[in-house]
Amino acid sequence: MHGDCYQRPPFPATWARMHGKGWVFYTSFGHRDDIWTNPRVQAIIVGGLAWAMGNVEFDVTPNIDKVTPKASSLSGLNL
């Protein structure tokens, strides 16, 4: 992709975290039709929902600095 708005460090499109006693799963893969038929995306969504419903356990220790270096340099974000 081209243009000024794409000249930024990578940031997570999918993440999970604990919120009190609850689970939060987020993904922003987009709205194109081909996203929903992509097996890799389907696996991420099914896995995230299974975790959020408490059906599987997964370590969601914060690791944004490790997996997306410089993500906190995005303007307006406080990561």
User: What tokens appear for 72 in the block?
Assistant: 């906190």
What is the band of 78 on the pLDDT scale with cuts at 50, 70, 90? very low
pTM of the model: 0.66
The 10s digit of each residue's pLDDT in 17-74 is 999 988 899 988 877 888 889 999 999 999 999 999 999 998 989 888 888 777 767 6
R_g (Cα) of the chain, nearest Å: 14
* Beta-strand runs (E) in 4-78: 14-19, 22-27
Asked whether residue 75 carries a pLDDT value surpassing 70, the answer given is no
Domain ranges of the chain: 31-57
Distances (CA, A) of 35 to 25, 30, 48, 56: 17, 7, 16, 24
User: What tokens appear for 56 in the block?
Assistant: 């599987």
